[in-house]
Amino acid sequence: MGLPFFKKAVELQQKYGTGKTIGNGLQTNGMLLNEEWADFLKAYNWLVDISLDGPQYIHDHFRTSQTGKPTWETVSRNAKAG
């Protein structure tokens, strides 16, 4: 599911949720977060959990990219984007 899906969800909430309290949350490994995502999540007050498996040496041992590269630096950078 990409950003268009979540934008549509917010659109539907705004259309049908008048007078209701709606909260949104997202659990992610942070690999695909970027400025566009950060702007959207911030604009609509989403709660975001980004999973890190501890210090860099532990995280990189267990969490590699599809090409086998470590991911801690990418996730940390993306988390700071917001």
Contact call for residues 81 and 33 (beta carbons, < 8 A): yes
Tens of pLDDT, residue by residue over 5-33, are 999 999 999 999 999 999 999 999 999 99
pLDDT at 45: 96
Tens of pLDDT, residue by residue over 37-66, are 999 999 999 999 999 999 999 999 999 999
Contact call for residues 82 and 59 (beta carbons, < 8 A): no
pLDDT at 82: 64
Contact call for residues 47 and 67 (beta carbons, < 8 A): no
- String of b and e for 15-50 (b: at least 16 CB within 10 Å)? eeeeeeeeeeeeebebeebeeebbeebeeeebebeb
pLDDT at 1: 78
Residue 81: pLDDT band (50, 70, 90) is confident
